[in-house]
Structure 1
C-alpha cells in the first residue's frame, strides 16, 4: 500500500495515495508455497504444472526468505513462504496459462499459471496443507517509503481471509483490497493437475534436494553503495 500523497506505479499495480488501496498476489490457502511453507516436499526436480505444460523446480527464487513472521511484540504470524525458480518447455505451454501483460506506469510482465503437487508424506505435511485463509497471514507494507528505502518493519499483519473479503483495516481506516492472482484459476489448475495424476499422465517426483527452509536462517542482505 501507499502512505504518501502521490500515486505510485509498481509491479503490484497502481497504488493510490493516502492508503487508497492495497494489492496482494497469492492464492492463499491454495498457494503451494503456503501449503508447504517448510519445504518438506518441494525441491530441485519437483515436477509441476507450468503454463499449461509440465515443468520442474530448478532452485529457490529471488527474495526467498522462508522465515517465521513475527511482530515487534514477539507474536508469531506463521511462515512467510518462499519463492521458486522454474524451468519448462515453452512449446507445451498454453495461451490460457501464459499471458503477457502490461502494468500502467510500470512496464511489461508475464502472468503464468503454476501448480505444485504436494504429497501427504506425514502429519506435518497434512497439517500445513490443511491451513485455511484464516490461518495464513501477510505483512502490510508501505511501498512509498519503507520498501524503497529498506526501512525494517511493516504496518501489521492481515489474514488472507481479510484480504479476500475486499477490505482490511490499517491505521484505523478501512482500505479496499484487490488480488493480482486469480483464485478461480488456482482452483482450475488444481483440478487439471488432479486429473493428470489420476489418469497416469503426471507422476510425482522426489526432489534431488529440498529447498532451503526457515531452519537455514536465510535473511535479506542490503547492498550498500559506497559514497552514498
Structure 2
C-alpha cells in the first residue's frame, strides 16, 4: 500500500463543507492546479473536485407507477404517447426505455430507423409538465377486473417516476470514422464516406470516470448530480469492462467502466435531461451527470489532475469493422487533438465532431461545485466497490 503524505476522510471533508471551509474546484481547474503546484500541494489545498458530462446515453429509461383507480387493474400492455412500455412487473409498474420508438411515427413508416419521437421524448414531455396520453390493456382477473385504461397524465399524476439507467458515464469511448464509400448513420451521428469526419463522445478531463480511473471513491451509494437533481450510483453498469488496457497514467485506452444510476425524475430539470433524435439511428436521451471526487490523498489529486492531453481514444471504423464485430483499432488520438477541431488521419486533415457537449459538462461541474460550497450537498461513502483493476 502506498504511504501518503496527505490523508483525509470523507467525514472530515463533509465537516469542512458544513462549516463552509471546503475548497472545491471543477476538474478543469484541478488539471491546472496539479500541473502548476504538484499533486502533494494540490492534495493539501483541495478537498473536492467536481466532474460533469452531458451526452446521449441510450441505456436509460423511466421506471414508473401509474397508481390505481377503481376498478383496479393489472396492466399487461401499456403505451405512453403510443410509445410501448414494458409492463411485465407488478400491477401498475412499468418501464419506458429511452430508445423505444413510437408505433405511429410517420417518419418511421417512410424511413425505418429514423425515429423522430420515442421514449426519451415522453420522458422530456413529462419533465416539462406536459400531458402524455396513457393507454393500457389487461387480461382481467377477479382481483384486477379492469381491462382497459385510456387517459392523459402528467408527471404530477404518477406516484413514482424514477430514472433507472443501466449504462451511463462511459469511461472512454471510440472516436468513430467511416471507411466505406457511402455515408452511414450511427448512434455516433452521421459519418461521411472515406473517413471525412471523426465523431467522438466524451467530456474528456471533465468526465467523471477519467478523474477516478480505478473507481476508488465511486461505488454503490455514491451520491451524484443527476439531471439537475440528486441521484445515486447503484454499481457497475452493463458492458462494464473491469480490466481495460491503460496508459502510463492509468487512463483506459478503450471503452471501459460504466455506471448504473438512479434518480427521481420529479427532482430533475429539463435543461439537463433532453430527448434527442439521431438521424438514421433513432432516439436517445442526453443526460447530465456530475460526480464529486473527494481528494483524500495525493494519489487522488494526481488522478483528478488529468488533462485532455492525457486521454487517448481509439479510432474505429463504423462502416465495416464495428457492425461486423471486428476489434481492429486504427490508432489512438488524444482528447486535446480532437478538441482542436481537426486531426490528421490517413495523411489528410479531418474535421472532428463532438457528440458530448463540453460547455454543458462544465456547467454541470460548476453547478455541483456551487451545491457543495453552499453546504447543500454532502459526500457519501461508497457501500460496495466496483471492480476496476
- Report TM bin, short chain: 0.7 to 0.9
The answer for the alignment partner of 2:107 in structure 1 is none
The answer for the alignment partner of 1:156 in structure 2 is 331
Is 2:361 the counterpart of 1:186? yes
TM-score (normalised: structure 1): 0.87
Moved beyond 6 Å, runs of 4+ = none
Which residue of 157, 175, 195 maps to 1:19?
Answer: 195
Gaps of 5+ in 2: 1-176
The answer for the alignment partner of 1:68 in structure 2 is 245
Equivalent-residue separation in structure 2 for 1:110 and 1:17 (angstroms): 27
Could you give the per-residue CA deviations for residues 57-101 of structure 1, whole angstroms, max 9, x where no partner exists?
11212222251247xxxx998424521110000000101000011
Gaps of 5+ in 1: 216-228
On the 8 A contact 2:198/2:353 being kept in 1, the answer is yes
- Greater Rg over alpha carbons, structure: 2
Could you give the per-residue CA deviations for residues 20-49 of structure 1, whole angstroms, max 9, x where no partner exists?
111111110010111111111111111000
Which residue of 157, 172, 175 maps to 2:350?
Answer: 175
Could you give the per-residue CA deviations for residues 113-161 of structure 1, whole angstroms, max 9, x where no partner exists?
1000000112221111101101111100111122111212301100000
Aligned-residue CA RMSD (Å):
1.6
Equivalent-residue separation in structure 2 for 1:157 and 1:76 (angstroms): 15
On the 8 A contact 1:22/1:178 being kept in 2, the answer is yes
Could you give the per-residue CA deviations for residues 199-223 of structure 1, whole angstroms, max 9, x where no partner exists?
121111111112120x2xxxxxxxx
On the 8 A contact 2:213/2:251 being kept in 1, the answer is no
Is 2:382 the counterpart of 1:196? no
The answer for the alignment partner of 1:5 in structure 2 is 181
Alignment map for 1:1-228 (pairs within 5 Å) = 1-66=177-242, 67-69=244-246, 78-80=251-253, 81-213=256-388, 215=389
On the 8 A contact 1:115/1:190 being kept in 2, the answer is yes
Deviation at 1:183, TM superposition (A): 1.0
Relative to 1, partners in 2 of residues 1:104 and 1:158: Cα closer, same or farther, differing over 3 Å? same
Give the number of equivalent residue pairs: 210
Deviation at 1:11, TM superposition (A): 0.8
The answer for the alignment partner of 2:37 in structure 1 is none
Equivalent-residue separation in structure 2 for 1:138 and 1:122 (angstroms): 28
Equivalent-residue separation in structure 1 for 2:383 and 2:227 (angstroms): 23
TM-score (normalised: structure 2): 0.52
Equivalent-residue separation in structure 1 for 2:349 and 2:220 (angstroms): 42
Deviation at 1:182, TM superposition (A): 1.1
Could you give the per-residue CA deviations for residues 144-189 of structure 1, whole angstroms, max 9, x where no partner exists?
1221112123011000000000111222222110111111111111
Equivalent-residue separation in structure 2 for 1:69 and 1:158 (angstroms): 14
Equivalent-residue separation in structure 1 for 2:338 and 2:284 (angstroms): 23
